Structure 1
Amino acid sequence: MFMSQQFGQSAASPDPGWLSSLLGGAAKSAAGVAVSPNKALSITTYQACITLLAESLAQLPCELYRRNGDQRERVTDHPVARLLRQPNGWQTPFEFNEGTQIAAAHGGNAYSYIERDRAGRPVALLPLDTGKVSVLRGADSLPYYQFEGQEPMPARMVHHVRWFSLNGYTGVSPVQLHCDSLGLALATHGHASAVFANGTHLAGVLERPAEVGGQELKPLSPERVRQIKAAWKAEYAGRDNAMKVALLQEGINFRPLSMTNADAQLIDARKLSALEVAQIFKMPPHKVGLLDRATNNNIEHQGIEYVIYCLMPWIKRHEQARMRDLLLPSERGELYIEFNVSGLLRGDTQSRYAAYAIGRQWGWLSANDIRRLENLPPIPGGDVYMQPLNMVDTRGASLQGKPDAKALAEVESILQ
């Protein structure tokens, strides 16, 4: 018997409301706006976070390595190494990694069917539609995966990357978890759109005096008011008529207006909504265009913080999920999968060269080590590690080495 960790009950009778939301249905937010996964993507900050994480991860080289004592070597002849270079017959590694990360960040889970040969070795990773997969818990407490109502598959047949999880089996959907925040962002955007679609765009109001030349003016008739309003709307309302020059009659004056408090609050509300959406993914604000607190002095360090605190947890999820699903238990002590993030952590040219100079002068970097970090070919004699002169004596003997008998005799003769 299987129990569903998604529905909290037998998989034969899922909760229809939850299932509808999972398959693309809309959940009602506190702001009164229905939020669905597809609707959430229309929020520019949300979409920017999803795609930025996916593109950042997909551009990183992913390799299989073997531990050899304190050394490591890249493995190229293993089935998993070939799978990392070509996940299936139609996707490039970039496309597969990008799609997997989008599914994991947008829906909380990413599933891929592991196609194996007769020897049980993985030969292809086939993406599965997240909305059509149910995760079940078997009697052995291991996860089983049911695709479109078919027979449940054991975990060894499915590559599963999950986000933040409450039950240890499935990741939480950010659209469901933060429905109210996303609904508020959609409501604010919709209100701003309505203001621009229906409001007049002259930067002021029309005022009609109560009297002219000491003579009191009669109030306009309702019909005349409607005519003026209709004519005004036809001539000056809408985006295409913005900032036109108006001809005023009947003692009407034009009074320019600055931004109202309501307009200013609307702009602040939109910025706050964008910031809240970025916080869902721990995304630094400057990466999604919120540059209020970014300066030329701290932007580089903020970029490094993005890699360490925002992108790196996702990288670890992918690395460890691939090791769990693609490598045999007997291989995991010797082989491991790793994304190379050194390119994203590099600073500007001046900072990198200053760091290289320190490492070269103090002897823990050789010329070829530096050239490899800069994707340059090695040079003859470039594997020599320098040693500072203050760490050796004038005859080349290390100060930490044992002095010879002749050196001791010279010292004793001086001290006598």
Structure 2
Amino acid sequence: MFFSQLFGSQSTPGSGGWLSGIGGARSEAGQIVTPDTALALTALQNCVTLLAESIAQLPLELYRRTAEGQREVARDHSLYRVLAWEPNEWQTPFEYREQGQIAAGLRGNAISLIDRDPDGTVTALYPVTDPVQVLRGNDRKPYYRINGAEPIPQRMVHHVRWISLNSYFGLSPIVLHANAIGHAQAIRQYAGKSFLNGTALSGVIERPRESPPIKEQSAVDKLVDEWQRKYGGSENAKKVALLQEGMTFKPLSMTNVDADLIAALKLTSLEIARIYKVPPHMIGELDKATFSNIEHQAIQFVIYTLLPWIKRHEQAMMRDFLLPSERAEYYIEFNVSGLLRGDQSSRFAAYAVARQWGWLSVNDIRRLENLPPIAGGDVYLQPLNMINAAMPPTSVKPTAEQVAEIEGIVQ
């Protein structure tokens, strides 16, 4: 029934099919890179959770196409309950979508079991955290073996993939970029051991070479402790010290090794940000961020980073949740307009142009601003000096309303 023997496993060679949920890779730096160990890196955790929380907070709607070419929210469809407020018995919609995107961001695949009514309607979604083996059947459709059990068909599984080389199984960003992530882990491990085993001094007290040595260690300790007590800490900053017997205090600055370590740590953060196409300022790297470009970078994040993930989720949901007979009438969509609005003055200037030239009504603008509609707010304006381009100019006659409006202005 299955062609699993034709394919190797992503994480366990020789197992057949493609395997999700376990495994990792050893980087060239010697680190074992897995989704769990990689998530301990602050930059990677920031990127993964930023994508997950951004998608989870977006409004998700099930729409119905009307005969007039408009759309309306399909609240009467049973799928609406699952999407809007109850994906399963213990998770909120935010938690479910957040977990799914975290799984996709770490393992390249987010997989859930679909519970259906006898008529095929989706009633619940259960996220899968066990190892999943993806097999290809004779009908070229994927089948899923969860934790070694009998394979189940595609219609019982919701699967969101990252980029794929075989069209059945997404690549894991962690395994694919194990060297870059392992390099970051190795640098942080080196920094931790340096703090644990190394010595970092703020300065040294030097005595002249011709001075007689202090033979008792207790005398040396007493001298250093007295110095620290009088001049150490922020409360003793800027005090004046008097040194006797030709002694001098020599402060120690940061070494080149320390400076290179800081630069290497920053470079690894930027490398991880590149993996997920996240602007550096969104993970705390503000070196090149300015007030003039940070807003546009945020919009670029939505368009080039967030939207591809959103489209993966939307189209996977329409494929897995809607019956073939429903797909021409219904569709699922995230509302990202709130993330693209920019600052208030820019929005209001754009609304003014759209209102004056007639492609937005008052209620259209109020909906974009999450405000309730008002009576008479569905009127679309048209400038008086504009005519229908499809009509010859000689056939255009002013309407009674236009004449009355002009007479009112003249009077």
TM over 0.5: yes
Q: Structure 2 length normalisation: TM-score? A: 0.83
C-alpha distance in 2, partners of 1:140/1:273? 44
Cα deviations across residues 319-364 of structure 1 (Å, max 9, x unaligned)? 0001111112232222211101011111111111111111111111
Q: SS at the partner of 1:145?
A: strand
Cα deviations across residues 127-168 of structure 1 (Å, max 9, x unaligned)? 111x42111111222110001111100101100011111211
Cα deviations across residues 224-270 of structure 1 (Å, max 9, x unaligned)? 89x979x989x98xxxx988999999976432122222211111111
Counterpart in 2 of 1:412?
Answer: none
Q: SS at the partner of 2:64?
A: strand
Is 1:361 the counterpart of 2:356? The answer is: yes
Q: 1:108 to 1:98 in 2, by over 3 A?
A: same
Cα deviations across residues 302-328 of structure 1 (Å, max 9, x unaligned)? 111111001100000000001111112
C-alpha distance in 1, partners of 2:255/2:12? 56
Read off the aligned partner of 1:60 and give its amino acid letter.
L
Q: SS at the partner of 2:315?
A: helix
Contact 1:101 1:110 in 2 (8 A): yes
Q: 1:8 to 1:391 in 2, by over 3 A?
A: same
Contact 2:108 2:173 in 1 (8 A): yes
User: Which stretch shifts more, 192-201 or 288-297?
Assistant: 192-201
C-alpha distance in 2, partners of 1:208/1:343? 67
C-alpha distance in 1, partners of 2:183/2:164? 24
C-alpha distance in 2, partners of 1:401/1:67? 39
Is 1:257 the counterpart of 2:256? The answer is: no
User: Which stretch shifts more, 188-197 or 104-113?
Assistant: 188-197
Contact 2:163 2:171 in 1 (8 A): yes
Read off the aligned partner of 1:84 and give its amino acid letter.
L
Aligned counterpart in structure 1 of residue 45 of structure 2, from 47, 65, 70: 47
Aligned counterpart in structure 1 of residue 261 of structure 2, from 263, 266, 273: 266
Q: SS at the partner of 2:145?
A: strand
Gaps of 5+ in 1: 393-397, 406-416
Q: 1:369 to 1:13 in 2, by over 3 A?
A: closer
Contact 2:24 2:175 in 1 (8 A): no
Structure 1 vs Structure 2 CA RMSD = 3.5
C-alpha distance in 1, partners of 2:79/2:295? 35
Is 1:402 the counterpart of 2:395? The answer is: yes
Q: SS at the partner of 1:161?
A: strand
C-alpha distance in 2, partners of 1:7/1:247? 77
C-alpha distance in 2, partners of 1:364/1:14? 59
Q: SS at the partner of 2:385?
A: helix
Matches within 5 A, 1:219-258: 253-258=248-253
C-alpha distance in 2, partners of 1:119/1:363? 45
C-alpha distance in 2, partners of 1:79/1:100? 21
Q: 1:314 to 1:253 in 2, by over 3 A?
A: same
Contact 2:8 2:15 in 1 (8 A): no
Cα deviations across residues 173-204 of structure 1 (Å, max 9, x unaligned)? 11111111111111222222233333444323
Q: SS at the partner of 1:391?
A: coil
Matches within 5 A, 1:277-296: 277-296=272-291
Counterpart in 2 of 1:117?
Answer: 117
Is 1:139 the counterpart of 2:138? The answer is: yes
C-alpha distance in 2, partners of 1:43/1:402? 71
C-alpha distance in 1, partners of 2:295/2:305? 15
Contact 2:120 2:323 in 1 (8 A): no
Contact 2:105 2:173 in 1 (8 A): yes
Q: 1:74 to 1:136 in 2, by over 3 A?
A: same
State the percentage of identical aligned residues.
58
C-alpha distance in 2, partners of 1:286/1:101? 21
Matches within 5 A, 1:3-402: 3-4=3-4, 8=8, 14=14, 22-23=21-22, 25=23, 27-68=25-66, 70-85=69-84, 86-129=86-129, 131-205=130-204, 207=206, 209-212=208-211, 253-391=248-386, 400=393, 402=395
C-alpha distance in 2, partners of 1:196/1:232? 22
Count of matched residue pairs: 384
Cα deviations across residues 370-393 of structure 1 (Å, max 9, x unaligned)? 11111111112212222223326x
Read off the aligned partner of 1:82 and give its amino acid letter.
R
C-alpha distance in 1, partners of 2:233/2:39? 30
Q: SS at the partner of 1:331?
A: coil
State the 1:123 CA deviation: 1.0
Q: SS at the partner of 1:153?
A: coil
Counterpart in 2 of 1:414?
Answer: none
State the 1:300 CA deviation: 1.0
User: Which stretch shifts more, 148-157 or 131-140?
Assistant: 131-140
